[in-house]
Homo-oligomer: A and B are copies of this chain.
Amino acid sequence: MAYQAPAALAALTQQLATLPGVGAKAAQRLAFHLLAAPPEKSRMLAQALLDSAEQIHPCPVCGNFTDRELCPICEDSGRQRQLLCVVEQVSDLISMERVSGCPGLYHVLGGVISPLDGIGPEKLNIASLLRRVEEGDFREIIMATNPTVEGEATAQYLAKKLRRDGLKITRLAHGLPVGGTLSYVDEATLELAMSGRREL
């Protein structure tokens, strides 16, 4: 008779294997780690999962995660309300905030337009962006989507939709990464670094 792991252990392994980047082997290793640890550890992780599933939701204005009505950035009265930074994901927003990158507000798209993956504009937070810009008093929109084919295409699409008099639409600069060497930089980046050169 083939050996069957206890049902609760099999269920835990199966749940862990649904996480991104966690394969069957890693899921088993995580489950064994949790079972070998004091049960308190599993309970704390379970509680954190339940708390965040209960309390965290997207900010209805910008799409950032929040546990209040609006997110801390939308609520922050010290932010420049005429500057809007459009990012793909909340993780991009957090990367920007880590370097105090944008003194204004954000809008999280939730992804990029990617027809091959069946993701059209209607699947992203684009309608809310258009309405927000229509009704708001923005002077500049920074398109901070990733420098990928889809990110560029999404930025171009949005720029076309949003363009109007008195509204500046910008894109993050391309160029050499700090600490990089010329010989290892790809040609497209080097060309853009050349054309975007600045006076010393």
Report A's interface with B, CB cutoff 8 A. Answer: 1-9, 11-12, 14-16, 18-21, 26, 28-36, 39, 41-56, 65-68, 72-73, 76, 78, 89-91, 94, 97-98, 100, 110
Q: Determine how close the nearest CB of chain B comes to the CB of A37; give it in whole angstroms.
A: 9
- CA–CA, A39 and B9, complex, Å: 22
Q: What are 23 A-to-B residue pairs whose CB atoms are below 8 Å?
A: A2-B97, A3-B72, A5-B94, A6-B56, A6-B65, A8-B51, A8-B52, A8-B67, A11-B48, A12-B49, A14-B48, A15-B45, A18-B41, A18-B45, A28-B94, A31-B52, A32-B91, A35-B52, A36-B110, A39-B53, A42-B49, A43-B50, A46-B49
Q: Which residues of B contact A11 (CB under 8 A)?
A: 48, 51-52
Q: Is the CB of A6 within 8 A of B55?
A: yes
Q: Is the CB of A30 within 8 A of B41?
A: no
A contact patch SS: helix
Known: A43-B50, A49-B45, A53-B43. A20 touches B9 (CB 8 A): no
Q: Which residues of B contact A5 (CB under 8 A)?
A: 65, 94
Q: Determine how close the nearest CB of chain B comes to the CB of A144; give it in whole angstroms.
A: 15
Q: Which residues of B contact A3 (CB under 8 A)?
A: 72-73, 94, 97-98
Q: Which residues of B contact A28 (CB under 8 A)?
A: 91, 94
Q: Is the CB of B42 within 8 A of A50?
A: yes
Q: Determine how close the nearest CB of chain B comes to the CB of A93; give it in whole angstroms.
A: 8
Question: Which of A18, A53, A56 has most chain B Cβ within 10 Å?
Answer: A53
- CA–CA, A1 and B76, complex, Å: 9
Q: Which residues of B contact A54 (CB under 8 A)?
A: 8, 39
Contact of A45 among B9, B16, B94, B100 (CB under 8 A): B16
Q: Is the CB of A8 within 8 A of B44?
A: no
